């Protein structure tokens, strides 16, 4: 498996999970990381190419890294490569597809609906490089979009997998939150307003009746926009109602004890917070962005789907979960079972099938 890193993002987290899946299926797994950061547990042998990048990131250093990777592939005679990288630089994609991966079957994984974060800017190049290659995407919307855009002949959808038993165990790690159960709603993830649109979340929360009911908004995470979001919270006079908890390795006790989870992103690939939250019987209110939420959330069955960028609609959805107890309990009761199809056991079968075909 080739991945950018094993740290920080949802794509990287799903890559780490996939190493466990492949290992448990009996495959001899090797993981190549292009950046040095490793935070997520993984299975298999790690070849950390990022460590060489940290030591020498000159043009000559890049050439040496390409050669090291080519030699690594040559020494191990891999049966298949799973490529989890973002493929946005034209020269690099040419090197990977025509030099590094030459004569080795490759499965390319798509994690993002936004083309600028997924492929090079050149349509003709993407068609030439990839139309005959094997792809999987983490949502059906991503599959259909890029299959059509770049004439990709072998496109499949394999959702991100979740170890629900592990998530439930980790959610029980702390009993400290019991006294605060059902007194807050939660957002957890990267503090990146351009992507996650946290100002929409804050504006909708302010427009709702939740602050008046003393139901707080907890924000878990860190990121480049943390100070900006804290400042904005004060500007709109919510600083006594919004609690910034910072980054936590284990957010699941907080999620389990929350009334519901919020997602207000401008775009996604397959937002992992939605199945994680539902697996803990915590309903989700999400904007109906591309892509992923509407492939998991059934409106008024396990959560609420709301028109994106609509502050009032989002506020009304929050209020409905507080004041319409029947609706809330209905969604809560359906939450856990609604994500059973994303279990490691079920997704493993999909991966085994596509690897054996490649």
Mean pLDDT for all residues in the chain = 95
Task: Give the pLDDT score at 181.
Answer: 81
**In CATH, what class is 164-340?**
alpha beta
Asked if residues 85 and 93 have their Cβ atoms less than 8 Å apart, the reply is: no
For 6, the token pair is 């094993």
Question: With contact defined as beta carbons under 8 Å apart, do 292 and 303 qualify?
Answer: no
Q: What is the mean pLDDT of residues 87-96?
A: 95
- Residue 10 is predicted with a pLDDT of 82
Provide DSSP, 241-270.
TEEEEE--S--HHHHHTSS-EEE--S--SS
The residue among 176 and 90 whose pLDDT is bigger is: 90
Number of separate helices (H) and strands (E) present in the chain: 16, 13
What would the pLDDT profile of 5-47 be if each residue is shown by its tens digit? Answer: 999 888 898 999 999 999 999 999 999 999 999 999 999 999 9
DSSP 273-334: HHHHHHHTT--EEEE--SSSHHHH--BTTTEEEE-TT-HHHHHHHHHHHHH-HHHHHHHHHH
Residue 227's pLDDT band, with cuts at 50, 70 and 90, is: very high
pLDDT in tens, 128-187: 999 999 999 999 999 999 999 999 999 999 999 999 999 999 998 866 566 588 899 999
How many residues does the structure list for the chain? 358
% of the chain surpassing 70 pLDDT: 98
* Edge-first strand listing for the sheet containing 261-263: 242-246, 216-220, 184-188, 261-263, 284-287, 303-306
- Give the confidence band of 194 by pLDDT, cuts at 50, 70, 90: very high
Examine domains 2-161+343-357 and 164-340 and report if their fold is the same: yes
Distance of CA 357 to the CA centre of its chain: 26
pLDDT in tens, 290-344: 999 999 999 999 999 999 999 999 999 999 999 999 999 999 999 999 999 999 9
Does 53 score more than 60 pLDDT? yes
- Cα torsion 91, 92, 93, 99 to 10°: value is 100
Q: What is the mean pLDDT of residues 178-204?
A: 92
CA distance linking residue 321 with residue 205, whole number of Å: 13
Residue found by looking up tokens 């109906």 in the block: 288
Spans of all domains in the chain? 2-161+343-357, 164-340
What is the pTM assigned to this prediction?
Answer: 0.90
| Distance, CA of 333 to chain centre | 25
Buried b (16+ CB within 10 A) or exposed e, 124-161: eebeebbeebbbbbbbebbbebbbeebebebbebbbbb
DSSP assignment of 72-85 equals HHHHHT-S-EEE-S
What CA–CA distance (Å, rounded) separates 113 from 116? 9
CATH architecture of 2-161+343-357: 3-Layer(aba) Sandwich (3.40)
């Amino acid at each position: 498996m080739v991945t950018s890193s094993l740290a920080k993002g949802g794509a990287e987290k799903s890559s780490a999970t996939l190493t466990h899946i492949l290992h448990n299926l009996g495959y001899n797994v090797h993981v190549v990381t292009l950046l040095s950061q490793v935070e997520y547990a993984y299975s298999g042998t790690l070849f950390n190419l990022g460590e060489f990048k940290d030591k020498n990131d000159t043009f000559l250093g890049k050439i040496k890294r390409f050669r090291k990777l080519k030699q690594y592939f040559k020494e191990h005679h891999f049966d298949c490569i799973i490529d989890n990288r973002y493929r946005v630089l034209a020269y690099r994609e040419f090197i990977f597809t025509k030099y590094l991966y030459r004569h080795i079957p490759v499965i390319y994984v798509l994690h993002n609906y936004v083309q600028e974060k997924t492929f090079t800017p050149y349509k003709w190049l993407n068609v030439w490089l990839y139309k005959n290659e094997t792809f999987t995407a983490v949502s059906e919307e991503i599959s259909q979009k890029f299959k059509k855009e770049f004439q990709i002949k072998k496109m499949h959808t394999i959702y991100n997998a979740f170890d629900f038993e592990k998530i439930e165990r980790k959610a029980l790690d702390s009993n400290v939150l019991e006294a605060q159960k059902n007194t807050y709603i939660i957002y957890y993830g990267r503090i990146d307003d351009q992507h996650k649109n946290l100002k929409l979340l804050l504006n909708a929360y302010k427009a709702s009746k939740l602050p008046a009911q003393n139901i707080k908004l907890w924000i878990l995470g860190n990121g480049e926009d943390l100070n900006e979001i804290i400042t904005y919270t004060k500007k709109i006079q919510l600083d006594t109602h919004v609690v910034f908890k910072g980054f936590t390795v284990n957010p699941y006790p907080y999620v389990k004890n929350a009334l519901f989870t919020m997602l207000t992103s401008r775009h996604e690939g397959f937002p992992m917070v939605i199945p994680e939250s539902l697996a803990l019987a915590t309903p989700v209110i999400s904007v109906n962005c591309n892509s992923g939420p509407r492939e998991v959330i059934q409106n008024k069955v396990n959560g609420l789907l709301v028109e994106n960028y609509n502050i009032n609609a989002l506020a009304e959805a929050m209020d409905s979960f507080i004041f319409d107890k029947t609706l809330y309990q209905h969604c809560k009761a359906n939450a856990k079972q609604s994500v059973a199809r994303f279990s490691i056991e079920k997704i493993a079968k999909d991966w085994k099938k596509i690897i054996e075909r490649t």
